[in-house]
Structure 1
Amino acid sequence: MPSSRFSGSLSSPKVDFVIDMGNPLLNRTVDGFLKIGTVAATRVAAEETFHCLRQGSVSGNKLEHSLKKMCKEGAHWGTIAGVYVGMEYGMERIRGRRDWKNAMLGGAVSGALISAASNNNRDKVVVDAITGAAVATAAEFLNYLT
């Protein structure tokens, strides 16, 4: 039976810039905020463009709403990323090791902090801390696979 094989690789473009705030913790936090905030804003821009194309019209009011939504989502996701990156780096500095446990602990602390800032429910804070730890750990393990 004949068979064929496909071989290739896929790589994404590398966009990197350096921000020097004078402190490695601040540098990483601001870098995480800007990168993930930009991704979130771009996602909203793509969604809003799709909706405008589907409706077949663009208005000034719709454009203003889209820009506000881009800023809001960018700031929201950028803040979450900045807190997480800062917590992970802090865990690395405290523990003196660079491993998956920093991601787990950073995710748990970030999830708890962000949840506590937005609600008063203790059970929700604990669940969000567990979720943050699980997502961060999974992302770290996926990074090791590639």
Structure 2
Amino acid sequence: MSDPPHSPGAPSEPASLILRMHTAGPDERIAILHDLLIRKATVCYTPDDLDRITGLLDHEPRVVELALQILGNAALKKGMLPADRSRFREKLRYVLQRFRSDGSQRAIIRSAVHLLGYLCDPAVLEQLAYDAERF
């Protein structure tokens, strides 16, 4: 099942949802991310869509976790990355710094490390060294 056709120039339904996330409240934002995850096999993101999702990496932990799942699926399974890769790296490194000492957020750390590994970023080794000393 694919997304229904839409008029030329109009954003697709997933793109409309992604745009709406930035003005939505926390609960609606989480619901939109869940909807996008459910349809991950049929949704094709553009690099600009992924840039917008990257912008969610400084939100509350549940939003960060869901955004990382979408970004991870796009990168690791479909080979699609955000257009602004340097911003993507910065945001992923920020996620590591923000959550590294919170043992309850290991899923977030794992997802960020996987994506940074995909990008061959040295922050992966730094995080592994940090974890080796503490966990």
Higher Rg: 1
- Asked if Structure 1 and Structure 2 have the same fold, meaning a TM-score greater than 0.5 normalized by the shorter chain, the answer is no
Q: What's the TM-score, normalizing by structure 1?
A: 0.24
Q: Scaled by the length of structure 2, what TM-score is found?
A: 0.26
Structure that is richer in helix per residue: 1
